[in-house]
Structure 1
Amino acid sequence: MTIDPLAEAETGPVIPSTGVGVLDRAVAVLDAVKLERMTASELARYLGLSVPTAHRLVTSMVTHGLLSRDEDGRLRLGARFSLPFLEQIASPVLTDLQQETGETAQIWVRRCEHRLCLASVDSAAELRASVPVGTLLPLTAGGSAAIVLAEPTTAPGWVESISRRTPGLCSVSAPVRRQSGETVAAVCVSAPVLRVGDTGPGALYGDAVIGAAARLSEALDRT
């Protein structure tokens, strides 16, 4: 049975009050889109908010990854709600990717204007590219994962970066996407330039990175 929350629009749900109005409204928005995907204007009607207030709230929640828009522009729970599951399934995928390439494999997610290292499996080589899990880097600092997260596109493929963020290091990344096409993460292989040579990381590891990203995308679609 399909739930139609807009059928209740004349009375609307009661928004619990904790005294922190913005937080109360944000939780009410999350509860609403869990029942039915809606546009910001439909949310305004359903929750009894003004349209400008609903649009401002939704814009901020999308920026913070609490909400996302599907292909029709309707709102759903955002990438932040996929992260616990993504962390859970990341380890075997990254381990396989590291073993296949011999280099460090990572998953990065967007945090406003930064990227966050969600999981990493380091290369066994003494000379390797490595960042701790939890590392936060500005998207403007560059790197292939930053490009994927800052400039999401529906086109398939990989993006490579050579000495863009750190001289002597290179990487190749591919997007992890939901069925709607929304990019929720970037799978990345990083390596020293001297070990990759003139061939470049994309030619060497691009197909492996795309395969790992596809595995994670398919797993997310099943949730």
Structure 2
Amino acid sequence: MGDAGGGDGIVRRATGVGVLDRVVAILDAVEARPMGASELARHLGLAVPTVHRLAAAMVVHGLLFRDAEGRHHVGSRFASTALAAAASPVLEELRRETGETAQVWVPRGDSRVCLACVESTSELRASLPVGTALPLSAKGSAAQALTEEPGESSRRWFESVSVRTPGLCSVSAPVHYATEIVAAVCVAAPVSRVRAEGPGAQWGALVVAAAERLEEALLSR
């Protein structure tokens, strides 16, 4: 059952689909505690190259997150379900506080996807339906928040004014899970309703507070 043999070790063949069973075994192991690929291989009795290959693919698909020390954690794909459940009351409160459209965005490869949205009740408002996908390269405030390096700065907000869509502005803050940025909370509004100092000065503190409430909700699930 050693690494060199490439056997299944303690991996249970629950389905008989070898790759799937190994992926589930890796998830079970890192859910108990973070592990590097070599430690995972020893723990599961799998070949080290096999675990490296599977873990790398799982990171790409958001099933695992690899921290700066090379340890693997359960990835952001699993946080999205909890985020969707927790987002509605947080966004409702944020809309009430700002009067503007409140959204949660999550990263998906090279894009960001709108996971939840509570629109402003004003006739003139920012409006994007849930499921909308936009490239992360389009540097709106949510894209900036999602692509910030974790730990790069203290908690802060990002703003954009007429960057992606002329006449619209937004302010966003990252949502952290473990050491990973898993989402961004965003308030979007017409520029005509923003004070001269900009959307960040007007709503940044409220957006950061909403992001913190989502983080607390993730930790409690």
Could you say which TM-score interval applies, normalised by the shorter chain?
A: 0.7 to 0.9
Moved more, 54-63 or 83-92: 54-63
Task: Name the counterpart of 1:98.
Answer: 95
RMSD: 2.1
Q: TM-score, normalised by structure 1?
A: 0.87
Q: Distance in 2 between matches of 1:55 and 1:200?
A: 46
Letter in 2 for 1:111: R
Q: Calculate percent identity across the aligned residue pairs.
A: 60
Moved more, 153-162 or 28-37: 28-37
Q: Distance in 2 between matches of 1:72 and 1:46?
A: 18
2:182 counterpart of 1:181: no
Measure how far apart 1:74 and its partner are.
Answer: 2.1
Q: Distance in 2 between matches of 1:214 and 1:162?
A: 24
Task: Name the counterpart of 2:189.
Answer: 191
Q: 1:133 to 1:11 in 2, by over 3 A?
A: closer
Task: Name the counterpart of 1:5.
Answer: none
Q: Displaced runs of 4+ in structure 1, greater than 6 A?
A: none
Letter in 2 for 1:45: R
Task: Name the counterpart of 1:6.
Answer: none
Contact 2:156 2:173 in 1 (8 A): yes
Secondary structure, counterpart of 1:140 in structure 2: coil
Letter in 1 for 2:190: P
2:64 counterpart of 1:67: yes
Secondary structure, counterpart of 1:128 in structure 2: coil
Which of residues 52, 55, 73 in structure 2 aligns to 1:55? 52
Where structure 1 has 5 or more consecutive residues not aligned to the other structure, the ranges are 1-9
Where structure 2 has 5 or more consecutive residues not aligned to the other structure, the ranges are 1-6
For residues 114-153 of structure 1, what are the structure 2 equivalents within 5 Å?
114-153=111-150
Contact 2:105 2:112 in 1 (8 A): yes
Task: Name the counterpart of 1:7.
Answer: none
Q: Distance in 1 between matches of 2:19 and 2:9?
A: 18
Q: Distance in 1 between matches of 2:22 and 2:168?
A: 45
